[in-house]
Amino acid sequence: MLKVLWTRLKQGHRTMGYPDGPAPELPARFLGRPRFDPSRCKPDCAGCAGVCPTGALGGGKLDLGRCLFCGACAAACPEKAMEFTQEHQMAVRVREHLELGGQTYRLAHALEQRTRKLFGRSLKLRQVSAGGCNACEADVNVLGTIGWDLGRFGIQFAASPRHADGLLVTGPVTENMRLALLKTWEAVPAPKLVIASGSCAIAGGPYRGHPEVHDGCGKFLPVDLFIPGCPPHPLTILDGLLRLLGRL
């Protein structure tokens, strides 16, 4: 036992200092918030749109809600009108704000003062995997590890929707999960929140348009926060949650 305690003391403090300190360094292969400048596009050039697996590009706009962050569009663009940065901040409050077309990106603003007073220091979420592949779910789970320690912000995941303040939904909402999602939502006491995490939960992801998929949870639930990504990086999820609660 003494040996275990001594080893733990030598390990020191493992939880990151973010957001009070700098954000952790992300790997070079990380594809963050893209920059899209349609003014650099050649007339009648649809090279980037042609390689996009979800139809996220079109009409001079990029829909981050559909984007899988595969990077194929940037690789196919000869004019470099599209490039992916290392910016992890991507969560928004309004679905339309996920559309990029050269304008300033509008990150999520905090909840209204009355709602923030209720949830700002203690937010319990019930996570619902509505047919996801487990990638988004895995990155949500990372937030509970010692390096991230989501609980230090008063944010925790509840086992029962009756003990929760809202839902964090992942997956495209398959027909098999539609009723389960709605029943879980009904079980959460009001006032309550909905967070759509990942391209599947926002717009169906790579399964968009399939007859057994409902293309995200926005068709059934009033979404308060959209977190794009496939899957969203844990830092992107954390940033979105803290912005929603007015903690950044």
Q: What is the model's pLDDT at position 50?
A: 85
pLDDT of residue 242: 96
pLDDT of residue 59: 80
Indicate where the chain has its CATH 3.30.70.20 domain(s).
Answer: 34-87
Please choose, from the candidates 205, 225, 227, the residue with its C-alpha nearest in 3D space to the C-alpha of residue 216.
205
Looking at the domain 113-244, which fold is it?
Answer: Rossmann fold (3.40.50)
**Predicted pLDDT at 157:** 96
Residues 6 or more apart whose Cβ sits within 8 Å of residue 140 = 127, 168, 170, 197, 234, 237
Q: Residue 11 pLDDT > 80, yes or no? A: no
Reduced to 3 states (helix: H, G, I; strand: E, B; else coil), residue 125 is strand
Q: For residues 8-22, give the mean pLDDT.
A: 82
**What does DSSP assign to residue 34?**
E
In the chain, pLDDT over 70 holds for what percent of residues? 100
Q: What is the DSSP letter of 104?
A: P
What is the rounded CA–CA span in Å between residue 111 and residue 189?
A: 18
State the span(s) of the chain assigned CATH 3.40.50.12280.
Answer: 113-244
The span from the CA of 37 to the CA of 59, in Å, is 12
pLDDT for residue 169? 98
- Report the pLDDT value the prediction gives residue 102, as an integer from 0 to 100: 72
Average pLDDT, the chain: 92
**CA atoms within a 13 Å half-sphere pointing along the CA-CB vector of 23:** 14
pLDDT at 243 over 90: yes
Give residue 78's pLDDT. Answer: 82
**DSSP string computed for 159-201:** SSGGG-SEEEEES--BHHHHHHHHHHHHHSPSS-EEEEESHHH
Question: Residue 217: what pLDDT?
Answer: 97
Phi (first) and psi of residue 186, to 5 degrees: -65, -30
Q: Is the pLDDT of residue 12 over 80?
A: no
Q: Give, in order, the Cα–Cα distances in Å from 115 to each of 28, 99, 110, 190.
A: 38, 27, 10, 11
CATH number of 34-87: 3.30.70.20
- Read off the pLDDT of residues 189-242 as tens digits, 9 standing for 90 and up: 999 999 999 999 999 999 999 999 999 999 999 999 999 999 999 999 999 999
